[in-house]
Structure 1
Amino acid sequence: MTNDQRHGRRRRDRSYVTRLAGIVVSVLAVGGGFGAATSLVNAISGSFADLESRAYTTSGWSGAEIASTLLDSGWAWAGLAVAAGWLVTRTEESRPVALAQGAAAGVLALLAATAAYSIVDTIRSGGRFPWYESEVVRWFASVTFGGPLGCVGACVRRPGVIGLLARLTVPVGAAVQMVVLLPGRNEVIEAIGKTVVWMAAAVSIGFVVARFLLVRRRRSETVAKSP
């Protein structure tokens, strides 16, 4: 191996390490920011809630409480893992590498979000319990579901049906959750939450499917015109 080849290999290795470090920092920042924001929004919504009032308990709501209900939901946390997998994936990477990176990113993002959520909650509660013991279910879900969801995110950039299904995962999952697990503590919040999620899911699904069909049509026309 010549000196130029050695230098070239070292530069590629440094570039890969630098990119890998940047990926880790970005994923941890996104996940930590999401978890901290969710905990803070929960705190703000609690300050607006007058749970001593029977009328407010049964029919009261606030914008902060709606935001809290949407952020602190399963589909939103799942969307974080999918977004992390999408964020770290490049179209030129091989499929195994992309899936591995997406899976790792999904787990890291959810772990960072859970850690930030737990720390902020512990600080708000006056440190009555260790932050790492406060969200056992979230820790378990981060490790269990973060990898598969990150892989879904890694497939978002892929063309074809697999890419389409990956892009539909979050909006379809959100819509289904509104049927299986209603959001909020009373019927008014449940109705608002369902309406917001279903409208956003319908718009997202329509946009994704329409774009997929348009791209497919253009490709078909290009193939038909080619000699």
Structure 2
Amino acid sequence: MPPERDRLPWPAIGPVIGLTLGAVDSVVNHIPVLLGETGAARADRGPASQAAEFLSLILDAGWAWAAAAVLAGWLASRSPRPAAGPAAGSAGMLRGALAGALALLVATSAYYATDLLFDGGGWWGIPTRYWLIGSLVLGPPLGLTGALIHRPGPIGTVAALVVPGGATVQMLILPPPAESLMATPVRLTVWLAASLTVVLIVRRHARRSPRRARAVPS
């Protein structure tokens, strides 16, 4: 395990993840604009725009933003030394919740700020306010979910399944637009990645369960 001083301070984890997600998402969405292909039908755009649309359909999805908050909570709640009782565990949960909120707040701010560079206009519009409020509401529970992944047993396993489960459900009930050539590749990619993730999580849980059972004195 790397020394604590070499790690990113936990208050910076959420903002770094959020800034990356928000800025990259906005830039990817504007690649057809930069290439002068906004007037062409989505299916008629060139390879670069198609690749950008593939990324855009993933990064624009709600599950991807939820995953960012969960990741922030998971990273921020890690401890470089063994937890010392309930207080240490509660501190990790709090760090995770705060990191999840910060990740979504900064991601929303960065997304609309980057849009402003391309499109002009105002930053403090209704969509910005709507998603900032959503970030305050959804960020803490998602960050807490990330922190709970560290817990042993069913709690940690269920928490780890939230993101792949959410991605799978979203591809079923809110699939990418059918007019996009990337709709089917995105759905298949997300389903494949989610399935592999679930298999790895279940295998990890199955390997840990016998060890815990042997550790319990008879």
CA separation in 2, counterparts of 1:203 and 1:88?
Answer: 25
Task: Pick from 116, 125, 134 the counterpart of residue 119 of structure 2.
Answer: 125
Question: 1:70: how far off?
Answer: 0.1
CA shift in 2, pair 1:163/1:142, >3 Å:
same
CA separation in 2, counterparts of 1:172 and 1:205?
Answer: 8
**Could you say which residue in structure 2 is the equivalent of 1:152?**
145
Q: Which runs of 5+ in 2 are unaligned?
A: none
Q: Which runs of 5+ in 1 are unaligned?
A: 1-17
**Residue 162 (structure 2) pairs with residue 169 (structure 1):** yes
> Amino acid of the residue matched to residue 15 of structure 2?
L
Task: Pick from 13, 23, 27 the counterpart of residue 26 of structure 1.
Answer: 13
The TM-score with structure 1 as length reference comes to 0.79
Q: Percentage identity across aligned positions?
A: 34
Contact residue 50 and residue 56 of structure 1 kept, 8 A? no
Question: 1:182: how far off?
Answer: 0.9
Q: Which of the two has greater helix per residue? A: 1
CA separation in 2, counterparts of 1:87 and 1:45?
Answer: 34
Contact residue 63 and residue 166 of structure 2 kept, 8 A? yes
Contact residue 175 and residue 187 of structure 2 kept, 8 A? yes
CA shift in 2, pair 1:49/1:135, >3 Å:
farther
CA separation in 2, counterparts of 1:184 and 1:137?
Answer: 23
CA separation in 2, counterparts of 1:199 and 1:88?
Answer: 28
> Amino acid of the residue matched to residue 170 of structure 1?
V
CA separation in 2, counterparts of 1:215 and 1:48?
Answer: 51
| 1:81-96 pair list within 5 angstroms | 81-90=69-78, 92=83, 94-96=88-90
| 1:133-165 CA-partner distances (Å, limit 9, x unpaired) | 252332121011001101101101110000001
Question: 1:46: how far off?
Answer: 4.6
CA shift in 2, pair 1:34/1:187, >3 Å:
closer
> Amino acid of the residue matched to residue 132 of structure 1?
W
**Could you say which residue in structure 1 is the equivalent of 2:52?**
64
Contact residue 81 and residue 106 of structure 1 kept, 8 A? yes
- The RMSD of aligned alpha carbons is 2.6
The TM-score with structure 2 as length reference comes to 0.83
CA shift in 2, pair 1:24/1:185, >3 Å:
farther
CA separation in 2, counterparts of 1:53 and 1:142?
Answer: 34
Task: Pick from 67, 73, 83 the counterpart of residue 61 of structure 2.
Answer: 73
Runs of 4+ in structure 1 deviating by more than 6 angstroms, as ranges, are none
2:176 partner SS: coil
Contact residue 70 and residue 146 of structure 2 kept, 8 A? yes
Tell me the number of residue pairs that the alignment of Structure 1 and Structure 2 aligns: 203
**Could you say which residue in structure 2 is the equivalent of 1:8?**
none
**Residue 96 (structure 2) pairs with residue 102 (structure 1):** yes
CA shift in 2, pair 1:46/1:183, >3 Å:
farther
